[in-house]
Amino acid sequence: METSYFHADDAFVAASPRRCFALVRAIRRYAEWWRRVRCEPLGTEAVLEVGSRFRFSGGPVSWVIEVKDLRPHRRIDLEYAEGDMLGPVAWEFLPEGEGTRVRYVYRGVRPNSEYTRASFESGRSLRLHTEVMQSDAFLGLRRVLESGLDASGGDLFTTLLTQRAVRRFRPDPVPEAVLREILSAATRAPSARNAQPWVFVAVREPETRARIASLYGGLWDRAKQYTEASGADADIAERPGYGAMMQSVDHLARHLAEVPVLVIAGLDVRALGPLADPEGRIRSDAAAYASIYPAVQNLMLAARGLGLGTTLTTLALGAEDELRAIVGLPAHVHVPALIPLGYPKRPFQPSRRRPLAEVAFGERWGASLEDS
């Protein structure tokens, strides 16, 4: 009979059980904090649900995990269902003082390959598991949760209702797997004729970011001078928050080179068919840009769902040829947006917007939705 192994690793995290549970449940954020293993969700879920399956791999082994039970803020029961290991495991979240004792528990795990069998028998597997949990997984949880970063990562309406323009970023790098999740979500957007005319360039190299930032800064200085001289913002300048917003916009322009990722969203006119003429000139701006901005919004919402911030900027369109040259985009790719991407300096909060009654009507302009 195959030997079953029981084992537990734990660490103290200075965050509530609710926040610990939320982050562990946010399956598509694992690459942000657990970097020595690869986690691949096998469904479309953004958070763990009963029945969710995902594949873990690390070194020469891989295994498929299924969620068996969720006990909010206390425990997540899992099953190694396929692959090099089999058997029940669990995350536990135990209140302790001003924080949480987070435990990962083997509850009778069995090796299911010659490699894992030998590794378990020698004791190497459990030693390595403890080392990885302490130096990677638990350390990553603490890095995210104790720094005040957002711990959510899946609820659509949480994402929508807390979405805002982020212009001040932490220097933390964006993990490759997280960036891929965000860009993959962007490609799921609708487009005219299902042309999917988008391309994205994610710029992380410091020298290239500095060149883009220098270009952007010059454009911002000219735009700022024009706005002040012409009174272009006179209609909104007296609104509460205008001054703080403009300080934030200015801060972004001065510190754009420090943003971890600059995503250039491109529109490939060759994919537009009749929406562009043979020389590549766009015939229908509405249809063409309606085929790229939904992808940009998908990107921004996916980033928010994974705890990252963005803002949509179009200032770089004033020097599109120069920007295109910096990153090597061909002439047939227009640049409708530049999106700074990174972890925000302050936590997300519910966004404040005009009351629904002022902007949404039933049947006719000015008629209340309730009355209709």
* Digit-coded pLDDT (tens) for 76-105: 999 999 999 999 999 999 999 999 999 999
Angle at the Cα of 39 from the Cα atoms of 33 and 43, rounded to 5 degrees: 125
Number of C-beta neighbours around residue 184 at 10 A: 13
Helix, strand, coil percentages for the chain (3-state, nearest 5): 40, 25, 35
For domain 5-145, the question of CATH label 3.90.550.10 is answered with no
Longest dimension (CA), the chain: 83
The pLDDT, as a whole number, for residue 160 is 87
The pLDDT of residue 301 is above 90:
yes
Q: What is the mean pLDDT of residues 117-142?
A: 95
Q: How many CB atoms lie within 10 A of CB 62?
A: 17
Domain ranges within the chain, ordered by starting residue:
5-145, 156-359
Q: Tell me the pLDDT band of 158, cut-offs 50, 70 and 90.
A: confident
Q: Residue 321's pLDDT is what?
A: 94
**133 DSSP 8-state letter:** I
Q: Are 128 and 108 in contact (CB under 8 A)?
A: no
Beta-carbon neighbour count of residue 169 at 10 Å?
24
Q: pLDDT exceeding 90 applies to what percent of the chain?
A: 73
Residue 372: pLDDT band by 50, 70, 90 thresholds? Answer: low
Q: Please report the pLDDT score of residue 299 as a whole number.
A: 97
**Can you tell me the mean pLDDT for 235-241?**
90
Q: What is the pLDDT of residues 264-285, one digit of tens each?
A: 999 999 998 898 888 888 888 8
**d(Cα 216, Cα 165) in Å, to the nearest integer?**
18
Q: What is the mean pLDDT of the chain?
A: 92
- What is the per-residue pLDDT across 284-296, written as a single tens digit (0 to 9) for each? 888 889 999 999 9
Whether 155 shows a pLDDT value over 60: the answer reads yes
Q: What is the pLDDT of residue 104?
A: 98
Q: Quick one: pLDDT band at residue 112, thresholds 50, 70, 90?
A: very high
Where does the pLDDT of residue 31 fall: very low under 50, low under 70, confident under 90, or very high at 90 and above? confident
What confidence tens digit (pLDDT) does each residue in 162-171 have?
899 999 999 9
Q: State mean pLDDT over 138-150.
A: 88
- Residue 98: predicted pLDDT: 94
Average pLDDT for residues 144-170, to the nearest whole number?
84
Q: Which pLDDT score, from 0 to 100, does residue 86 have?
A: 97
Amino acid at 231: G
Model pTM score: 0.79
Q: Give me the residue label for tokens 């800064």.
A: 217
Is the confidence at residue 324, as pLDDT, over 80? yes
Q: 156-359 — its CATH code?
A: 3.40.109.10
> Which run of H or of E encompasses 198?
strand 198-203
The pLDDT tens digits for 60-77 are 999 999 999 999 999 999
Phi, psi angles (nearest 5°) of residue 309: -115, 160
Residue-level pLDDT at 154? 64
Question: Could you give the CA distance from residue 18 to residue 14 in angstroms, rounded to a whole number?
Answer: 12
Residue 177: which pLDDT band, with cuts at 50, 70 and 90? confident
Q: What is the pLDDT of residue 46?
A: 81
**Residue-level pLDDT at 1:** 66
* Residue 106 CB neighbours (<10 A): 20
Q: Is the pLDDT of residue 332 over 70?
A: yes
